A and B are shown apart, each in its own frame.
Chain A
Amino acid sequence: MTQVMGQAVKRHEDIRLIRGQGQYTDDMKLPGMVYAYIVRSPYAHARITEINTSRAASMPGVVAVFTGRDVKDEVGLIPTAWIPPDADLKVTPHSVLAYDEVRYQGDGVAVVIAETPYLAQDAALAVDVKYESLPVVTDPFEAQKDGAPQVHTDIPNNIAFHWKAGENLDEIFAGAEVVVKQHFRQQRLIPSAMEPRSALAQYHAAQGELTLWATTQNPHIHRLLMSGILGIPEHKLRVIAIDVGGAFGSKIACYPDEVIVSWASKKLNRPVKWTETRQENFQVTTHGRDHVQEVELAGTRDGQIQAIRVKTYANMGAYLSTAAPGVPTILFGLIVNGAYKIPHASSEVLGVLTHTTPVDAYRGAGRPEATFLVERMVDLYAGAVQMDPLKVREKNLIRHEDFPYTNAFGLQYDSGNYQETVSKALQIFDYPAFRREQETLRKQGKYIGVGFSTYVEMCGLGPSEVAGAVGFQGGLWESATVRVHPTGKVSVFTGASPHGQGEETTFAQIVAEELGIPVDDIEVIHGDTAQIAMGWGTYGSRTTAVGGAAIHMANEKILEKARKIAAHKLEVNEEDVTYDSGVFSVRGLPSKGVTFQEAALDAYLAWNLPPGMEPALEGTAFYNPKNFTYPFGAHIAVVSVDPETGDVKLLRYVAVDDVGRIINPMIVEGQIHGGLVQGIGQALWEGAEFDNQGQLVTGSFLDYTVPKARFFPKFETAHTETPSPHNPLGVKGVGETGAIASTPCIVNAVMDALRPFDIQDLPMPLTPQKVWQAIRQAQTKEPAESK
């Protein structure tokens, strides 16, 4: 065999990207194209009393100005596509342009279309909108209280849904030897993909067809939803996403802007392009996380965890975005027990509306929030029972022999060897030596700390039956067509829609390995609904686990047919034909063979095929996974804290991850690096802030800290490989692990460094100011107050 899988094959997509030949949506230019600029509300909550567009409409180059009232009867509302059952979910009507009330800063109220983007902006600034400001609420805990300002008048207490899982734990907690309680604030994050969102629509009036180029992670979901919103039948709609410049969950949602340009293109019969500014990206592209969590953990005095109970107030923003309700429920609430054998658990989630940017998936989506709370609770519990946090982990981790393991919520973890990742991490990091050094340094007034995170996550989304059962309004299988051309070259069509993850390469490796052909003979095509029958897109670390498995199945079909053709040509029984390194040969007669390319040509010429066989050589498969996949690992962070400034410095970061079988180690490592930086960013620097009027205070890269290169040491990464048993390739998923594991790891490390000051917890991000204030308070506190 060629052994292409498992190799660090250089990326195919790079060939165009390093030459500046990528094709991002904003790079597109069509004849007659005009440009849209959306006028947005500066208020977080206000009534629109008047919109005067006449001055804007008369400005140079302006083609049209439309307001919410022009659009509202011609297109549908922006839908929510994940409706968790039994959660009393209320729909939040979301017009593509607001016409009566604006509900967050950035809500669109009008659109200007002009001959150049410069002229469109000039005119947009001249649209005169009068508002009457209304009371604002931004915090989810405050918003669900009686009397809080209402975001949608018919949704009392702003509670959009109320979801519960697990059992009543009152008795267990009442009888527990040790109970640890803690509030956590999962701050709001701004995904900040480097490519701003963009959409270009071209309506072909004669055919009644619309083509939409868009920055999306899931073009087929877009086609499905847009068809409903626009009233254009699905077969007349084509959605294309060629190169997408990062997304991290923020390009899953169906946004008003894409609908506006589509509608306008039809209205004006011209191609219309819209590209958001970075300022708009901050204000209107979905944010992530934002929970208030009340967590309780019950355990024995000797370190056995018995139960975990979580109540969460999840800030959903002003509208329920496309996938948003699933994030703090299914993807969070069912895995709050983490990698530990915790027999009893319960989750309760209130999805609360506020006058803020809608929240949706952000790298990890739900699982970082769950992992954070359980990893922090384990540390706090370790402190309460005066045990080493690593010992408590080792005592409670699910053991290798327990797999498949069913957690307290009924999720079945597929496979794992958690102890092995811990051992491997401890080979890299000398824990006893660290504790000695820490002790020595403390005596000198220097503070270093170590944090652990032994995590598990669920990804590879997922079985479609489960998707249906949990209210996801779509399937979660994936499609693949592997088309062998007459010369034996191969085009692969995938329904996944990678946007930086490198599957043009990984998928080609799967095909090269399984079909025994050179990797350069394979082209992977994605992101075009006209070329790919159906697919559900790239998110939830699902692409290789689900889309890759579909390719594997398509390969099997091709090999089966090619083998028949070869057997026919060799005039032997199919069972006597072996296949190795691209050649079919007769068992025991290696000199007589048919190459893969010869079989392909025969299939197309069809001069002499086995009786009854159809011509051509192509395999299409639809893979519906049997379960989620469950990557896991052990991370260790070492930090120092400067007590004079509160500065936290990351000194070391060890990440041992098990993401199942690895197809391309170079790409896997890159995914982990990226995830780590985002997860560490949450712990130390990132955090969206609104003032009490709902104005986004951190509205640019000047205020919101996207981490920079100099903030990090070199990462120390290693792997174990435990295949997923239910997935034909054995792969699990790697896109989110770094972001899931690292945030609590860093916070645990900082808290460990601060142990001499007896500081229990600090809210993220752990800015120098917060750390310094906590140290100062601790220093001025009466000694009697400390435990």
Chain B
Amino acid sequence: MASQRIPVTLTINGQKIVRDIEPRTLLVHFLRDELNLTGTHVGCDTSQCGACTILLDNQAVKSCTVLAIQADGSEIVTVEGLEQEQLHPIQEAFREKHGLQCGFCTPGAMMLGAYLLNHNGPLTEETIREQLDGLLCRCTGYENIVRSIQRANEIMNERQNAQQAARATGVG
């Protein structure tokens, strides 16, 4: 039974990955141990801390509570995949607003933050604090994480506006 191995195919940070795995392999361990994507962290056993948060088919989920095999065929983005040509707005904002100290919960915090940016809800101080229920941070006191997410939203809009402006100029 322990020897059962099952093939799994995943697209991780844009790259197709095929592996044979033991079915009990948790997605977080698959990322960390099989693929050396050690940016995603394990902070608890009970699905509370959120340090392992990743995007699974564009949804923020806790990769410690998903079997890798359950994610077969899915697209995954981890902290290592946030940066595309330039830093993702959430990365830039976390640095600018001091949204991290020890950095351990940070990958999870940023993945959750990146998800919130793309889910259209209003990003007020209060709503962000509520949506951080699935994240435990022992260093920052959260205030700068809230600021970082708000700032990331601004950066995202600034970049979109700049792109539009560039496009407009290009057309003109």
Contact = CB atoms under 8 A, between A and B. Distances in A.
Nearest to A708: B133
Nearest to B26: A118
Interface stretch (A7-15, A552-560, A565-573): A7-15
Contacts of A156: none
Contacts of B136: 192, 194, 701, 706, 708
A61 to B, nearest CB: 9
B98 interface: yes
A19 B43 contact: no
Interface string A8-36: 00110111011111101011010000000
B101 A18 contact: no
A701 B44 contact: yes
B76 interface: no
B39 A21 contact: yes
Contacts of B22: 118
A700 interface: yes
Given A246-B104, A708-B132, A670 B39 contact: no
Interface residues of B, number: 59
B107 A278 contact: no
B103 A245 contact: yes
B102 A193 contact: yes
A748 interface: no
A676 B45 contact: no
Interface string A56-67: 000010000000
A10 B87 CA distance: 15
A784 interface: no
A672 B32 CA distance: 33
B105 A194 contact: yes
Contact of A244 (B37, B40, B102): B102
A26 B43 CA distance: 11
Contacts of A678: 138
A502 B139 CA distance: 12
A20 B38 contact: yes
Interface string A641-681: 00000000000000000000000001101111111111000
B144 A670 contact: yes
Contact of A194 (B94, B95, B102, B133): B102
A277 interface: yes
Identify the interface centre among B44, B87, B141, B145: most chain A CB within 10 Å of its CB: B141
B102 to A, nearest CB: 3
Contact of B143 (A19, A666, A702, A712): A712
Interface stretch (B66-74, B123-131, B163-171): B123-131
A161 to B, nearest CB: 30
B144 A673 contact: yes
Given A500-B139, A709-B145, A196 B103 contact: no
B2 A20 contact: no
Contacts of A667: 98
Nearest to A712: B142
B47 to A, nearest CB: 9
Given A118-B22, A673-B143, A709-B132, A20 B37 contact: yes
A391 interface: no
Contacts of A11: 95, 98, 100
Interface stretch (B4-12, B55-63, B78-86, B154-162): B78-86
B27 interface: no
B153 interface: no
A709 B42 contact: no
A709 B142 CA distance: 6
A700 B104 CA distance: 18
A191 B43 CA distance: 13
B118 to A, nearest CB: 18
B102 A246 contact: yes
A674 B87 contact: no
A710 interface: yes
Query: Is chain B's binding surface mostly helix, strand, loop or mixed?
Result: loop
Contacts of A666: 98
A509 interface: no
B41 interface: yes
B120 interface: no
A436 interface: no
A709 B129 contact: yes
A196 B42 contact: yes
B110 interface: yes
Contacts of B100: 11, 14, 17-18
A714 B125 contact: yes
Nearest to B102: A500
Contacts of B117: none
B150 to A, nearest CB: 12
Interface in A498-515: 499-502
B40 to A, nearest CB: 7
> Which of B43, B102, B129 has the most chain A CB within a 10 Å cutoff?
B102
Contact of A277 (B29, B45, B105): B45
B15 interface: no
User: Which of A20, A245, A500 is packed against the most chain B CB atoms within 10 Å?
Assistant: A20
A501 B130 contact: no
A709 B112 CA distance: 14
Contacts of A671: 101
A677 B132 CA distance: 15
Contact of B101 (A279, A670, A676, A712): A670
B140 interface: yes
Contacts of B142: 673, 677, 708-709, 712
B95 to A, nearest CB: 4
Contact of A278 (B46, B103, B145): B46
A715 interface: yes
Nearest to A681: B138
A18 B106 contact: yes
Contacts of A715: 141, 143
Interface string A347-378: 00000000000000000000000000000000
B96 interface: yes
Contact of A14 (B48, B49, B94): B94
A58 B122 CA distance: 57
A712 B91 CA distance: 24
Nearest to B108: A194
A715 B79 CA distance: 29
Scoring B40, B129, B135 by chain A CB atoms within 10 A of each residue's CB, the highest score goes to B129
Interface in A702-730: 702, 706, 708-710, 712, 714-715
Given A279-B45, A712-B142, A502 B36 contact: no
A761 interface: no
Given A194-B105, A708-B133, A278 B45 contact: yes
Q: Which of B98, B100, B107, B130 has the most CB of A within 10 A?
A: B98
Contacts of B40: 20
B124 to A, nearest CB: 12
A248 interface: yes
A499 B95 contact: no
A570 B166 CA distance: 53
Given A701-B136, A708-B133, 17 more contacts: A17-B103, A18-B79, A20-B38, A21-B39, A193-B138, A194-B43, A194-B138, A246-B101, A501-B101, A502-B101, A670-B144, A673-B142, A674-B138, A674-B141, A677-B141, A709-B133, A710-B130
Nearest 8 interchain pairs by C-beta: A20-B39, A245-B104, A500-B102, A673-B141, A17-B103, A20-B79, A701-B48, A27-B38
Interface of A: 10-11, 13-15, 17-22, 24, 26-27, 29, 60, 117-118, 122, 191-196, 243-246, 248, 277-279, 499-502, 666-667, 669-678, 700-702, 706, 708-710, 712, 714-715, 738
20 contacts: A10-B96, A14-B103, A18-B79, A20-B107, A26-B38, A193-B104, A194-B51, A194-B104, A499-B102, A500-B103, A666-B98, A669-B98, A673-B141, A674-B139, A674-B140, A674-B141, A700-B46, A701-B136, A708-B142, A715-B143
